[in-house]
Amino acid sequence: MNRLAIPATTQRSAAAFAMPEQSRIKAEVLAEIAQHPFHPPWWLRNAHVQTVAARYGRRVARPEGLRVERWDTPDGDFLDVYFLDGDPAMPTALLLHGLEGSIDSTYFLALIHELARHGWNVAAMEFRSCSGEMNRAARMYHSGETEDIGFVASRLIARNPKVALYVAGYSLGGNVTAKWFGEMGDRLPANVRAGAAISAPYDLVKSAEHMDGLRLSRLYVLHFLRYLVPKAIEKDRQHPGIINVERARRAWTFRDFDNHATAPLHGFADAHDYYSNVGCGRFLPEVQRPLLLLSAGDDPFNPGRTLPRELAASQPYLHPLFTDRGGHCGFIQPGPGGLENWAERRVVEFFEAYRKRTRGER
């Protein structure tokens, strides 16, 4: 269910480097990014301040020209995909938001603005049930669902067989991005040149335990459950008996909710089966395209001990950008116009580094 085979195009892959060559390029790109380290001031060093201020401490409007298309999926459902046109000669960035995010998530809009500033084209996908309208199928979305990103990528390629795609995902969307890169391996469409996973959970078992067990992190859990539980109830009204709606209604932890809603909705035995099988960390060894891993060691969602430091240092396609501070999807620091996001600039810098190293990039 979570794999979608996409025929490789005849277009030459920009990242089909021999291993020694790719290792050399990786070192160059990381050296370029290292010229702009993340140094938050003392009053922005706390992980929770970073996490909350990134969401509520700045205002980011939808850019002019943003338009939406509703695409019917092969299983009779729909996806909303937002587009922002840039320079026709520039690549397209395919973006994925985090848990219960949407096109209006602050980090999403901020990255769109940063890409637009460099002339990039944008395609931003909203996960099923996140568009403000409940999706139709007897399922929603989850951390390891890669069928939809494969569908959207294949349709973008069908529209323009020469398109160069760069993929960026935040949190849950970062997990989906990294998992897709790993499970596809060298079968990833040649049009997909590079990706970035921001604040992704590399080990969902440990991340869920971390969030459900710590007092402050529990506040985030309760925040998400305020949105997830009503969705589960509405999904059960659409498809009666598909989940244990009474147990889901009383959920106070991610594990409770995922045991009684996410797992049965998507074919997993229970929450542990779900967490064990979809965390992107187990797929990273098979990544065959440049992938930026941008995370903070103090992430209140994902414990720092789960960062794949050794693997990322040794695998030529993995580009670790692990900071001591930054929170979850935070990485904000003061700028001339107010708070600005360091991570968004590093993602675009990473994409630009590979674009400039590719001949005939579009």
Domain count, the chain: 2
What are the backbone dihedrals phi and psi of residue 264, each rounded to the nearest 5 degrees, phi first? -65, -30
Of the three residues 248, 278, 308, the one that is the final residue of a domain is 278
Average pLDDT over residues 336-359: 91
Do 117 and 73 share a structural domain?
yes
Average pLDDT for residues 45-64, to the nearest whole number? 91
pLDDT of residue 195: 98
pLDDT of 32 over the 80 cut = yes
pLDDT for res 19:
77
Q: In this model, does residue 351 exceed pLDDT 90? A: yes
Classify residue 289: in a domain, yes or no. Answer: yes
Distance CA 15, CA 350 (A): 14
CATH number for the domain harbouring residue 307: 3.40.50.1820
Averaged pLDDT for residues 162-166: 97
Q: Among 278, 309, 331, identify where a domain stops.
A: 278
Mean pLDDT of 116-141: 97
For residue 196, is it within any domain?
yes
Same structural domain, 162 and 255 = no
Query: What's the average model confidence in pLDDT over 84-90?
Result: 97
- 164, with CB counted inside 10 A (0-12, 13-18, 19+), is buried
Clarify whether residues 134 and 45 are in a common domain: yes
Catalytic residue among 131, 171, 199, 217: 171
Could you give the angle at which helices 204-213 and 215-238 cross, rounded to 10 degrees? Answer: 110
Residues 212 and 326 in one domain: no
Between CA 89 and CA 87 the distance in angstroms is 5
For residues 57 and 186, membership in a common domain is answered with yes
Q: What is the mean pLDDT of residues 275-284?
A: 98
77 tagged catalytic:
no
Q: Do 23 and 164 share a structural domain?
A: yes
| DSSP codes, 42-73 | GGG-SHHHHHHHHHHS---PPPTT-EEEEEE-
Same domain, 170 and 39: yes
Q: Classify residue 213: in a domain, yes or no.
A: yes
**What's the first-to-final CA gap in the chain, in angstroms?**
31
Q: Which two tokens stand for residue 297?
A: 């060691």
Decide if 174 is inside a domain: yes
Q: Are residues 132 and 218 in the same domain?
A: no
Asked if 80 and 191 sit in the same domain, the reply is: yes
Question: Is 351 found in the same domain as 212?
Answer: no
Is 46 inside a domain boundary? yes
Q: Residue 88 is encoded by which pair of tokens?
A: 């026709």
Active site residue 299: yes
Q: H-helix or E-strand containing 124?
A: strand 121-126
Query: Which helix (H) or strand (E) segment is 229 a member of?
Result: helix 215-238
Show the domain range for 242.
Answer: 204-278
**Selected catalytic residue, list 142, 260, 266, 328:** 328
Active-site residue, selected from the candidate residues 143, 203, 299, 319 = 299
**Residue 199 is assigned to a structural domain of this protein:** yes
pLDDT of 360 strictly over 60: no
- The pLDDT value recorded for residue 170 is 98
Q: Does any domain span residue 10?
A: no
Q: State which of 251, 278, 305 marks the end of a domain.
A: 278
Residue 5 lies in a domain: no
Write out pLDDT tens, residues 183-198: 999 999 999 999 999 9
Q: Are residues 133 and 147 in the same domain?
A: yes
Same-domain status, 55 and 105: yes
